[in-house]
Chains A and B, each alone.
Chain A
């Protein structure tokens, strides 16, 4: 066995036997994506059931007949508590202590106003005990109930007027003379789905993807930095450097060993991602009748292949970067705090891309973002969705060039004595200098 292969072999052996690495790089992406998919699904479903079961209260301060009809309408077919109180303040106290999420309040004068041809006013109070989406949606349900009543009430009034004037047609048409419907064009295909629905689906993806890329890269960085720093901390590197083997062979062997693990990481990332996409689509019920893959959203085999390559070069670049940095650390802990700095240029693009698109940013910010190689990884994932393969290829190109430069620097550092003498957290050094003379 040659020196190179024996280093690679040893490196893989060590990495595989390290439970942290096996978990972080290979198992985590495999588990996390499906878990995130499941988590979203469970979240959505529980909001849905919470809305369905939402309970309201009604309090009417108006004894009139017209108000009575409204209260009766709301009460029918709904779980409604009719609050009996001496006044609004008393009613609000009772509402606050009830288990209902919304209270429809009909003030005094409602019936009077309507009889006089004025608008009747209704007020809805929401009881935000836990400040969650289900509560807010429950309030909306109460609101839409009143709106529906409003609509039919309006139709009834229109009908009466039409009878008087002898106008033709239906009340609904007079109420809404126009009707609107939406469709989207994606990559030249017209599909009968509202654009907002599609973007909200893509949005949910684009929040998850940067997080995932970020986690993968962070783990890879930690892995490589730990592998070098461990050699320094355990003082195995010194031995390694006195062996009859070139420094480039050592660096190459270490990198190649990490690459094998990185490949395993990319594959498990792709598998987890594929699973996630399928489960993410399944919880969007409005899409089940539409073949989105046929319309060009969703990832084609070519997209998966390119995405795999992007993930791979991303990981290599992270490994090379981590190795160059770890050279300056003399313990695993100091290596991890040094590489912790690398997490900043990862988190910033991830955060920005989660909530906006790169094209929407000011040009200067765009350039800064594009200079960070990991931005490209995140952009590529979105591009894979839309089938913009050129963007992915551009990402691969940029990250590769970056990687080559970093590798070159790493090799330079590795071939100097700095790898032995560099002491960033020069703890042992200071300790020795401070030792009292005997």
Chain B
């Protein structure tokens, strides 16, 4: 099986501040991998490096064998990145937004329309897709953005807190979308989340990150046994306190 993500001793500084202090982890193809950790642990920083948005100060990050800095173009072609609390263009309609985004991955009109149709199905927004985005609720926007990220059938989807700020129903729907898609289409998914229930439900494997370092890695079951905990929440508390 091919390695979807290979991160080795990744470091990143912002000025004097070291946000990542040598993080390493691997994600297999077709896996749903969760990155969990407290606020400011370095989750977004890690995902941004993998998403070719920022470059590491040192260390290596590879996506399907492509080095993210040197082969950024190759990585961008196979990856979909959903930023933390991202938005969509408020003066476009949901459908125009999907079509605009699909245009970057396909040149043939039919392929573009196929992607847009997939986006329609994933979002479940129906006729509301014809409305302008500035009339959407937070949950609707999130569903649109997730549909955008998944409709292109990327080899790797990086989702930074996909359900943050959503109510139980919207979050449930979004989680369902991710799980269906990952299983049905064979997409590798890397998510970060603060919701341990969600992580337990979605992820095959999990890495715990704290203060810029990976402190533990494994399946939810493995982690629970390792920390002698009943759920991931307890694992999280134990692990971050031991730090």
Contact = CB atoms under 8 A, between A and B. Distances in A.
B81 A242 contact: yes
A234 B76 contact: no
A165 B38 CA distance: 115
A144 B137 CA distance: 74
Interface of A: 1-3, 6, 10, 13-14, 17-18, 233-236, 238-239, 241-245, 417, 420-421, 432-433, 435, 437-438
17 contacts: A10-B89, A17-B91, A234-B87, A236-B86, A236-B89, A238-B48, A239-B145, A242-B80, A242-B81, A243-B76, A243-B101, A243-B104, A245-B76, A417-B53, A420-B48, A420-B54, A432-B40
Contacts of A241: 52-53
A433 B40 contact: yes
A147 to B, nearest CB: 66
B103 A6 contact: yes
B91 A18 contact: yes
Interface in B88-113: 88-92, 96, 100-101, 103-105, 107
A6 B48 contact: no
Given A235-B87, A236-B89, A244-B73, 18 more contacts: A1-B107, A2-B107, A3-B103, A6-B103, A233-B87, A234-B86, A234-B87, A234-B88, A236-B86, A238-B53, A238-B81, A238-B86, A242-B81, A243-B101, A244-B76, A432-B39, A435-B39, A438-B39
Contacts of B148: 239
A1 B103 contact: yes
Contacts of B104: 3, 6, 243-245
* Interface majority SS (helix, strand, loop, mixed), chain B: loop
Contacts, number: 82
Nearest to B149: A239
B91 A244 contact: no
Interface residues of B, number: 36
A13 B91 contact: yes
B220 interface: no
Nearest to B40: A432
A242 B53 contact: yes
Contact of B92 (A10, A242, A245, A435): A10
B105 A244 contact: yes
A14 B90 CA distance: 8
B188 to A, nearest CB: 16
Among A14, A233, A243, A437, the most chain B Cβ lie within 10 Å of the Cβ of A243
Interface in B31-83: 38-40, 48, 51-55, 73, 76-77, 79-83
Among A6, A18, A239, A438, the most chain B Cβ lie within 10 Å of the Cβ of A239
4 nearest A-B pairs in the assembled complex, by CB-CB distance: A234-B87, A17-B91, A242-B81, A238-B83
A1 B96 CA distance: 14
Nearest to A19: B91
Nearest to A433: B40
A236 B53 contact: no
Contacts of B86: 234-236, 238-239
Among B38, B83, B92, B107, the most chain A Cβ lie within 10 Å of the Cβ of B83
Contact of B87 (A14, A236, A432, A438): A236
A247 to B, nearest CB: 10
Contact of B89 (A14, A242, A435): A14
Contact of B40 (A233, A417, A435): A435
B90 to A, nearest CB: 7
A64 to B, nearest CB: 83
A6 B100 contact: yes
Nearest to A7: B100
A156 B83 CA distance: 96
A13 B96 contact: yes
Nearest to B237: A438
A239 B152 CA distance: 14
Contacts of B105: 244
A417 B92 contact: no
Contact of A417 (B54, B79, B88): B54
B54 A236 contact: no
A22 to B, nearest CB: 11
